[in-house]
């Protein structure tokens, strides 16, 4: 499974330009928005590898953000283990959980919506476990990460280092998605997306391909959870395990174009600023209003834009 | 030993026996035509050989190894590739992408597979259509694409489920001569399920006739065509 990594030129240009942004005297709030933008682009790109390319639509990816956030945090709080090592544990736990769900689901042919429903159960289960294990996890109030500003503990006083880390995460994920798209693995996932039986008939091991895509996606997602916990320094079950996050990841990619590497980023460019604006205007009371907007946008995209907002942009360009 | 050896295969769906104790052999570079009325079990037999159905009893051997109960992708990997009666292209992908996916089984880079795919598309006269979305193709071209994708896998045996149906006489003729060329130049064997009896009679070395899940006749095309029971099934229609 080794391939040459062909980096798209546009991605490289945008990334290089983005590295000089911190020179500008911008308020720290702007960096928060940029970090969230990169973070959601990253998460949705990870999601798109299994759910966009292979059309195995997961509505449970928040589980892996949650595990990626909680496992290193608990290891840090109780055993003083640095999140860099904790991250490995968080990813390992996430992969194990993904394997427990994914292997039987794919092996015994849970297809289409059936797979999606199965994945939806996971965050609901994990959320109640992390709420009820109050003595360890702090329950629904969540858990604060002790402040120890240092590279060793993946904590920084300013937002700039987080910005660079998020930029690197996004760059690597987008580049990985881009290479998969041009590689045999991407072609196999496309075949599975179009017709699983026909894919099997030309010799594609459908179960194995889906599983590899799922595990790749989950590993990236869990790392996203690690990053989120260290950036926010506070985590709670409802935010991280809750279904809204799962839906947000899926919606972002779907609105952009789940079949292309840049699609999720396009989706995040629209959704992240919008939900920020909405939050400023309406306050926390109407926080769920953004979901109304997501739903409306999803309907419009499903009805009129089969290739998402990206399709609209490329059509205009022609 | 025969290249493909089907031994007393039975497949039931509930109370209905779709196949009853069917034996069939296919030698290297041989073309065997499988005919029979609707519902006689022809497609079921293809599904059993290709691993889409597991037979209730009986065994299938390929090149001396048992392949009964293997997954479709494992059987395709070994060299038995099928086409679907109702064509199943990867609809939103281009013709070239469809065939490239087939070729990727043996070639690990997309460039190599694409080169191979283009060659196949040229030989099957689909080259001009290579960038069309495959769901927009005409029936004739969809059949060609189905065949092209199967060929790209590099099969030793092709199981063709009504590739000629819906084609004009000249289209069918060009596909038949392509099959003959594949057999001579690449040593491919064919099991061809077909409704157009006339076409299959001219190209097949041997014909097997299924009726209600049982093999009722087998032999050279001439002798099968002369067979009383076969004539009765086709209601006295002229076969040759």
CATH number at residue A171: 1.10.3470.10
Instruction: Name chain B contacts of A183, Cβ cutoff 8 Å.
Output: 110
Q: Which of residues 146-185 of A touch B (CB under 8 A)?
A: 182-184
Reported as type and span, the H/E element at residue B7 is strand B4-13
- Cβ atoms of A257 and A309 within 8 Å: the answer is yes
Contact A195 B91 (CB under 8 A): yes
The answer as to whether A190 is a domain residue is yes
Q: Which CATH superfamily is domain B4-87+154-233 in?
A: P-loop containing nucleotide triphosphate hydrolases (3.40.50.300)
pLDDT below 70 — which residues of chain B?
A: 235-240
Q: Does A203 touch chain B (CB under 8 A)?
A: yes
Contact A204 B73 (CB under 8 A): yes
Contact B153 A202 (CB under 8 A): yes
Distance from CA of B69 to the nearest CA of A (A): 14
The answer as to whether A95 is a domain residue is yes
Instruction: Name chain B contacts of A182, Cβ cutoff 8 Å.
Output: 110
Q: Does A187 touch chain B (CB under 8 A)?
A: yes
- Say what the pTM is: 0.91
Contact B105 A198 (CB under 8 A): no
Position B235 scores a pLDDT of 55
pLDDT below 50 — which residues of chain A?
A: 1-3, 318
Position B174 scores a pLDDT of 86
Across the interface, of A183, A187, A203, the residue whose CB is closest to B76 is A203
Nearest to B79 by CA among B6, B18, B3: B3
Across the interface, of B76, B104, B149, the residue whose CB is closest to A187 is B104
The answer as to whether A149 is a domain residue is yes
Instruction: Name chain B contacts of A181, Cβ cutoff 8 Å.
Output: none
Nearest to A57 by CA among A258, A232, A225, A226: A258
Cα–Cα distance between B97 and A293 in angstroms, integer?
36
> Three-state secondary structure along B88-139?
CCCCCCEHHHHHHHHHCCCCCCHHHHHHHHHHHHHHCCCHHHCCCEHHHCCH
Total of domains in chain A: 1
Cα–Cα distance between B193 and B31 in angstroms, integer?
11
Contact B101 A202 (CB under 8 A): yes
Cα–Cα distance between A146 and A132 in angstroms, integer?
22
Position A306 scores a pLDDT of 80
Cα–Cα distance between B83 and A62 in angstroms, integer?
40
Instruction: Name chain A contacts of B84, Cβ cutoff 8 Å.
Output: 198, 201
- The alpha-helical segments, DSSP class H, found in chain A are 9-20, 28-48, 62-79, 83-107, 112-132, 134-137, 159-181, 184-194, 196-201, 206-232, 237-241, 243-256, 263-282, 289-304, 308-317
The chain B residue lying nearest A187, using CA atoms, is B101
The answer as to whether A69 is a domain residue is yes
Instruction: Name chain A contacts of B93, Cβ cutoff 8 Å.
Output: 190-191, 194
Across the interface, of B50, B92, B105, the residue whose CB is closest to A194 is B92
Contact A184 B109 (CB under 8 A): yes
As beta bridge partners, residue B161 has B193
- Cβ atoms of A98 and A218 within 8 Å: the answer is yes
Cα–Cα distance between B32 and A43 in angstroms, integer?
54
Q: Does B187 touch chain A (CB under 8 A)?
A: no
Substitution target from B85, B104, B117, B155 for chain A, most A beta carbons within 10 A: B104
Distance from CA of B103 to the nearest CA of A (A): 9
The answer as to whether A237 is a domain residue is yes
The answer as to whether A119 is a domain residue is yes
The pairing of beta strand B4-13 with beta strand B57-62: antiparallel
As beta bridge partners, residue B17 has B12
Contact A202 B149 (CB under 8 A): yes
The answer as to whether A182 is a domain residue is yes
Contact A205 B89 (CB under 8 A): no
Instruction: Name chain B contacts of A55, Cβ cutoff 8 Å.
Output: none
Position A1 scores a pLDDT of 38
Q: Cα B93 vs. chain centroid, distance in angstroms? A: 23
The answer as to whether A38 is a domain residue is yes
Instruction: Name chain B contacts of A199, Cβ cutoff 8 Å.
Output: 73, 90, 101
DSSP A145: P
Q: In which domain, by residue range, is A204 found? A: 9-242
User: Per residue in A172-210, pLDDT tens?
Assistant: 999 999 999 999 999 999 999 999 999 999 999 999 999
Nearest to B159 by CA among B235, B52, B57: B52
Instruction: Name chain B contacts of A206, Cβ cutoff 8 Å.
Output: 73
The chain B residue lying nearest A189, using CA atoms, is B101
- Cβ atoms of A6 and A186 within 8 Å: the answer is no
Supply the DSSP string of B14-59, one letter for each residue.
Answer: TTEEEEEEEEEEE-TT-EEEEE-STTSSHHHHHHHHTTSS--SEEE
């Amino acid at each position: 499974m080794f391939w040459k990594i062909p980096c798209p030129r546009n991605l490289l240009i945008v990334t290089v330009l983005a590295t000089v942004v911190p020179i500008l005297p911008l308020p720290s709030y702007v960096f928060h928005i940029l970090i969230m933008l990169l973070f959601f682009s990253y998460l949705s790109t990870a999601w798109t590898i299994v759910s966009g390319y292979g059309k195995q639509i997961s509505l449970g990816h928040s589980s892996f953000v949650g595990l990626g956030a909680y496992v290193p945090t608990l290891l840090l709080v109780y055993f003083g283990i640095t999140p860099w090592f904790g991250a490995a544990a968080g990813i390992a736990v996430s992969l194990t959980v993904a394997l427990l769900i994914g292997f039987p689901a794919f092996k015994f042919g849970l297809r289409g919506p059936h797979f999606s429903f199965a994945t939806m159960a996971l965050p609901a289960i994990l959320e109640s476990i992390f709420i009820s294990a109050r003595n360890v996890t702090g329950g629904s109030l969540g858990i604060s990460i002790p402040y120890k500003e240092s590279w060793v503990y993946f904590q920084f006083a300013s937002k700039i280092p987080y910005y660079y880390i998020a930029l690197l995460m996004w760059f690597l994920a987008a580049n990985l998605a881009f290479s998969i798209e041009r590689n045999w693995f991407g072609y196999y996932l496309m075949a599975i997306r179009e017709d699983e039986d026909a894919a099997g008939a030309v010799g594609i091991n459908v179960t194995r391909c889906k599983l590899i895509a799922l595990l790749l996606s989950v590993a990236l997602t869990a790392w996203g959870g690690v990053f989120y916990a260290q950036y926010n320094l506070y985590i709670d079950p409802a935010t991280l395990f809750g279904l809204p996050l799962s839906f947000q990841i899926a919606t972002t990619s779907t609105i952009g174009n789940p079949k292309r590497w840049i699609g999720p980023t396009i989706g995040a460019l629209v959704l992240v600023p919008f939900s920020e604006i909405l939050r400023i205007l309406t306050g926390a009371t109407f926080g769920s209003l953004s979901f109304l907007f997501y739903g409306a946008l999803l309907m419009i995209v499903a009805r009129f834009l089969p290739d998402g907002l990206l399709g609209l942009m490329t059509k205009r360009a022609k | 030993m025969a290249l493909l050896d089907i031994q007393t295969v039975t497949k039931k769906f509930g109370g209905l026996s779709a196949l009853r104790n069917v034996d069939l052999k296919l030698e290297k570079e041989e073309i065997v035509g499988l005919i029979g009325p609707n519902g006689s079990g022809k497609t079921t037999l293809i599904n059993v050989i290709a691993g889409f159905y597991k037979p209730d009893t009986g065994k299938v051997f390929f090149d001396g190894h048992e392949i009964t109960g293997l997954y479709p992708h494992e059987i395709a990997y070994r060299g038995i590739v099928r086409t679907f009666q109702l064509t199943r292209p990867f609809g939103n992908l281009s013709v070239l992408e469809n065939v490239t996916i087939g070729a990727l089984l043996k070639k690990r880079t997309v460039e190599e597979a694409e080169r191979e795919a283009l060659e196949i598309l040229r030989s099957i006269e689909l080259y001009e259509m290579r960038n069309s979305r495959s769901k927009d193709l005409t029936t004739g071209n969809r059949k060609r694409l189905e065949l092209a994708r199967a060929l790209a896998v590099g099969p030793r045996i092709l199981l063709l489920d009504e590739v000629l149906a819906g084609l004009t006489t000249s289209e069918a003729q060009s596909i038949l001569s392509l099959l003959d060329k594949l057999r001579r130049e690449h040593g491919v064997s064919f099991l061809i399920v077909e409704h157009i009896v006339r076409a299959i009679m001219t190209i097949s070395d041997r014909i097997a006739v299924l009726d209600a899940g049982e093999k009722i006749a087998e032999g050279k095309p001439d002798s099968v065509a002369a067979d009383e029971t076969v004539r009765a099934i086709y209601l006295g229609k002229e076969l040759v």
